[in-house]
Structure 1
Amino acid sequence: MSIYNKILVVADINHDEQPALARAIQLAKKSRSTSHITFFLSIYDFSYDMTSMLSGDERDAMRRGVIHQREQWMKKVAEPYIKESIVFDVKVVWHNRPYEAIIGEVFAGEHDILIKGTRKHDVLESVIFTPTDWHLLRKCPIPVLLVKNSDWPENANILASVHVGSEIETHLDLNDRMVDQLLNLSERLGTTPYLVNAYPVTPANITIELPEFDPTTYTDAVRGHHLTAMKALRQKHGIDEEHTIVQQGLPEDVIPQAADKLNAAMVILGTTGRTGLSAVFIGNTAEQVIDKINCDVLALKPRGYVSPLDPTIAS
């Protein structure tokens, strides 16, 4: 069961409002022990490193001055959010690749969860994920919570997208981890937990290639398999049947539809990409789902995932 007592929050340098910090405070307030929040920012200005008019010491002094200014700003914008029961600190680093700086701090600080705000498109009412977001989703070794720039909805629900049709051990273990996170977060945030699973549509051309094939029987068998597997998963974790959804269709369609229908404030996804040094992507299906979800997204890696930015293996 995740505790989330060491929380790393990425500051939004473009706004005084900090939804990621607000969400971190929500989690920390519900903790059974003292929480520690690190409010983090990576900054870089190419001009300070390239000018020949300044000596190395002068450039260092200017960088320290910029960092100090940012630290003061972060302390100011954080004041409305901070509670006495929470240990809080601010950290600003000079780095030209924000995602590398953030993941470096994840390892250095041994944080439990990373929380970052996402941008909301004013016209399309959708969330825009930045290149830094995608790098974090792919390479961060701890759970990544991307927060939409809006308040937590009334009567909110949290939805976990589980892959119950698989018999692969990695998928089964990830399902259990997602449900653990779902129940933990639902308890801490006062929301209702739901499980959703999409099962595949029968291929349209299979009856042409195999005339004796009965698509109805096949579809019923697939649905039955997924329903049975979902029942086993929900009973294992004590979740009521009415809080589960098993629906035919593509995950990138079923999951966003379920999130809208259930007024989901958060969707939990497993990113079952490769483990080890080659783990630099999160899977095409997960990426398509994330692009279509207009709420908070919590992405979890499989057990044994090794970030390519892990300092113990990076060259």
Structure 2
Amino acid sequence: MKEYQKLLVVVDPTSEKQNALARAVELAQKNQAQLTVFLSIFDFSYEMTSILSSQEREAMRQGVIEQRKAWLDDLIGQYSELDIQMNSEVIWHNRPFESIIHHAIDGNYDLIVKGTHEHDKLKAVIFTPTDWHLLRKAPVPVLMVKEHDWPVNGKILCAVNVSCEDEAHQSLNGLIIKHAKELADKFSADVHLVNGFPGTPVNLAIELPDFDAHSYNETIRMQHEQRVSSLANEFGIKSDNTHVSEGLPEDVIPEVAAEIDAELVILGTVGRTGISAALIGNTAEHVIDSINCDLLAIKPEGYISPLAEE
């Protein structure tokens, strides 16, 4: 995997604490990386007024951009004593997620870092938050930052999918674990694996009176435990650090993350668009609101963002 040498940090102008910037600075120090502090802004009132000429509107937009850039430069100034290459970028764009992804692609960044908070699930079905768009469409890993610290000897939890043994799933599992081990080496952390497996389908137990639900469940559990154990052996992860539980991934992952007090959850995410995205979403989108630590979302090798050709 490619190390994090270029970090794109998305800041929140409405927040006093810039957790994403603080986390990115930590990462930059560990990786001798360069860091861009990024802000996408837009004010519809500047576009609608008919009193001003187009030149006057452009001048006002530039004024706002310069004010925001000065604010970003003040943020960067707080880290001036550190040996980190940092710069700022302010973009005027009415769709923040698009400007972030385009900038990440054009600048060949290795990681997008952004602070996050709990979303209104009802509204999110209709108005998808920037975070969700990034999880679905960003071609590079996305680190969603909360307030949980990354102490020395912390824990990184990898959500692996062993339901299928096809090459694509195995490749993504390997990629997730490689990211975890790279970070674990830098932060002296411990890597854990988590997997949720489905319980007995209710209709089977009803339609087949002689069906042994307990034996079926145990067989599925053993199969998943063996596959997770095999992954752990392959990557040199302690057997005590494997967690296999019955349930949906979006339920099992937060439970285990809380149980071991993880600093970071890493999982794979597949881009979805249209109706399926609105109604189903990704595991990452369900998990992000249920954990109190950071989330790192990894795309499969070769993933191409739908915005890449725009």
Among 272, 278, 292, the alignment partner of 2:290 is 292
> What are the Cα deviations for residues 142-198 of structure 1, in whole angstroms up to 9, with x where unaligned?
111110135445753110100122123221111000000111111222221111011
- What is the alpha-carbon distance in structure 1 between the residues aligned to residue 128 and residue 281 of structure 2? 17
Unmatched runs of 5 consecutive residues or more in structure 1:
122-128
- What is the alpha-carbon distance in structure 2 between the residues aligned to residue 257 and residue 29 of structure 1? 31
Q: What secondary structure sits across from 1:205 in the alignment?
A: helix
Partner of 2:248: 250
Q: What secondary structure sits across from 2:2 in the alignment?
A: coil
Partner of 2:11: 11
1:172 aligns with 2:170: yes
- What is the alpha-carbon distance in structure 2 between the residues aligned to residue 90 and residue 158 of structure 1? 30
Q: What secondary structure sits across from 1:30 in the alignment?
A: helix
Given the superposition, is the C-alpha separation of residues 279 and 81 from structure 1 closer, same or farther in structure 2, using an over 3 Å criterion?
Answer: farther
Counting only pairs closer than 5 Å after superposition, residues 50-199 of structure 1 correspond to structure 2 as 50-82=48-80, 84-119=82-117, 131-152=129-150, 155-199=153-197
Q: Which amino acid aligns with 1:103?
A: I
Counting only pairs closer than 5 Å after superposition, residues 205-224 of structure 1 correspond to structure 2 as 205-224=203-222
Q: Retained in 1: the 8 A contact 2:36–2:89?
A: yes
- What is the alpha-carbon distance in structure 2 between the residues aligned to residue 83 and residue 185 of structure 1? 24
Partner of 2:123: none
Moved more, 91-100 or 154-163: 154-163
Given the superposition, is the C-alpha separation of residues 267 and 130 from structure 1 closer, same or farther in structure 2, using an over 3 Å criterion?
Answer: farther
Counting only pairs closer than 5 Å after superposition, residues 211-290 of structure 1 correspond to structure 2 as 211-273=209-271, 283-290=281-288
> What are the Cα deviations for residues 98-131 of structure 1, in whole angstroms up to 9, with x where unaligned?
111111101111100000001369xxxxxxx971
RMSD (Å) for aligned C-alpha atoms: 2.4
Given the superposition, is the C-alpha separation of residues 284 and 222 from structure 1 closer, same or farther in structure 2, using an over 3 Å criterion?
Answer: same
Q: Retained in 1: the 8 A contact 2:143–2:296?
A: yes
Given the superposition, is the C-alpha separation of residues 145 and 306 from structure 1 closer, same or farther in structure 2, using an over 3 Å criterion?
Answer: same
Moved more, 244-253 or 202-211: 202-211
Given the superposition, is the C-alpha separation of residues 290 and 150 from structure 1 closer, same or farther in structure 2, using an over 3 Å criterion?
Answer: closer
- What is the alpha-carbon distance in structure 1 between the residues aligned to residue 2 and residue 263 of structure 2? 19
1:202 aligns with 2:207: no
Given the superposition, is the C-alpha separation of residues 166 and 130 from structure 1 closer, same or farther in structure 2, using an over 3 Å criterion?
Answer: same
> What are the Cα deviations for residues 226-256 of structure 1, in whole angstroms up to 9, with x where unaligned?
1111121111111110111111222122111
How many percent of aligned residue pairs carry the same amino acid? 50
Unmatched runs of 5 consecutive residues or more in structure 2:
120-126
- Cα shift at 1:83: 5.1
Partner of 1:27: 27
Given the superposition, is the C-alpha separation of residues 279 and 305 from structure 1 closer, same or farther in structure 2, using an over 3 Å criterion?
Answer: farther
Moved more, 103-112 or 181-190: 181-190
Q: Which amino acid aligns with 2:2?
A: S
TM-score normalised by structure 2 residue count: 0.90
- Cα shift at 1:274: 5.8
Q: Which amino acid aligns with 1:255?
A: I
Q: What secondary structure sits across from 2:88 in the alignment?
A: strand
Q: Which amino acid aligns with 1:213?
A: F
Q: What secondary structure sits across from 1:224 in the alignment?
A: helix
Given the superposition, is the C-alpha separation of residues 216 and 11 from structure 1 closer, same or farther in structure 2, using an over 3 Å criterion?
Answer: same
- Cα shift at 1:224: 1.5
Question: What is the total number of aligned residue pairs between the two structures?
Answer: 302
Q: What secondary structure sits across from 1:292 in the alignment?
A: coil
* Structure number with higher helix proportion: 2
Given the superposition, is the C-alpha separation of residues 230 and 184 from structure 1 closer, same or farther in structure 2, using an over 3 Å criterion?
Answer: same
- What is the alpha-carbon distance in structure 1 between the residues aligned to residue 155 and residue 66 of structure 2? 40
